[in-house]
A = this chain, B = another copy of it.
């Protein structure tokens, strides 16, 4: 299929074309990459979804939440895409979203589109591809793009760099339980949702929520927040309770930021961030696609590993050919 035709079909919300395009951007082949770059540019950037980053450690009920939240949104007539950034999925061979059976009902929903994390070992690669998949989903006219992460290493930071809002999902915590929340992530969160506020856990969820609400009040107010944000709420995914309120808070926050130019400024910053990432990555590829340079790089790396040369000195030597090439050119 021609790139222009693929672009047209994506913009016409053709799901198969979208899936195919995501496969294209995930490909490591150089010719595929050239096509992917052309496609992304051809699609334009006139359509915007609400991009929601979602983090939560395993066991907090992320899949159940996404299913319930997604179904609530599709019931409102919203088109919802679910993507994932999970560098660990490549290691385990599985995927953060598992087989879609974990979100069985949502995956059958015509207004929903679910795509597992690209299977690459390097976080940068996974994140870059997911970010481009987000752009494809926006071009395909989705209203909401949920980007989930399990929070391995720096993945929250990467997801925050492609999301308009960042939601942290927590489980009710007992006194001796590890919540796994790092200060940095607390500060990244726009909304904290304490899940499982149902049955026996309900009162514990309410207490946990109050604890986090208290903790959030201790954080410095950020210029991107209206009064009362970041906010902590309780929800129950299995009883579908509190989900609409959570959605109202998200849209309210998004509207507030849009009306003040904060939304647009953030999107511009994010685009800059990914441009720099792409340049960095491209530079590295350039150095390793030349066979002679790649060989030299491998030799230097071996010398470094064996302690025969300091990393900085080896790097200087590795980059020397580029310099002499420039000098020759001048």
Is there contact, CB below 8 Å, between B305 and A269?
yes
Which of these binds chain B: A16-24, A226-234, A271-279? A271-279
Inside 8 A of A326's CB, which chain B residues have their CB?
286, 290, 325
* In the assembled complex, A180 has its CB within 8 A of some CB on chain B: yes
Bits for A258-281, please: 1 = Cβ < 8 Å to B, else 0.
Answer: 000000000111011011111111
Inside 8 A of A57's CB, which chain B residues have their CB?
183
What's the tally of chain A residues with a CB closer than 8 Å to chain B?
72
Q: Which of A277, A282, A329 has the most CB of B within 10 A?
A: A282
Is there contact, CB below 8 Å, between B184 and A181?
no
* In the assembled complex, A75 has its CB within 8 A of some CB on chain B: no
Inside 8 A of A279's CB, which chain B residues have their CB?
284, 287, 297, 315, 318-319
Q: Which residues, 122 to 166 on A, are CB-close (under 8 Å) to B?
A: 132, 135, 151-154, 157
Inside 8 A of A186's CB, which chain B residues have their CB?
178
Inside 8 A of A328's CB, which chain B residues have their CB?
329
Give min CB distance, A282 to chain B, whole Å: 5
Give min CB distance, A176 to chain B, whole Å: 5
Inside 8 A of A40's CB, which chain B residues have their CB?
310, 312-313
Q: Name A41's contact: one of B181, B215, B310 (CB within 8 Å).
A: B310
* In the assembled complex, A300 has its CB within 8 A of some CB on chain B: yes
* In the assembled complex, A182 has its CB within 8 A of some CB on chain B: yes
Inside 8 A of A275's CB, which chain B residues have their CB?
300-301, 304, 311, 314-315, 318
Is there contact, CB below 8 Å, between A152 and B184?
yes
* In the assembled complex, A174 has its CB within 8 A of some CB on chain B: yes
Q: Provide the bound-state CA to CA distance between A184 and B149, in Å.
A: 13
* In the assembled complex, A309 has its CB within 8 A of some CB on chain B: yes
* In the assembled complex, A1 has its CB within 8 A of some CB on chain B: no
* In the assembled complex, A323 has its CB within 8 A of some CB on chain B: yes
Closest 7 CB pairs of A and B: A175-B175, A278-B315, A268-B305, A41-B313, A283-B283, A274-B311, A182-B182
Binding site for B on A (CB under 8 A): 36-38, 40-41, 43, 45, 57, 132, 135, 151-154, 157, 174-176, 178-186, 207, 211, 215, 267-269, 271-272, 274-284, 286-287, 290, 297, 300-301, 304-307, 309-316, 318-319, 322-323, 325-326, 328-329
| 13 A-B pairs in the complex with CB atoms less than 8 angstroms apart | A36-B312, A178-B186, A178-B215, A267-B307, A275-B314, A278-B312, A278-B316, A279-B284, A279-B297, A280-B284, A282-B316, A283-B284, A286-B323
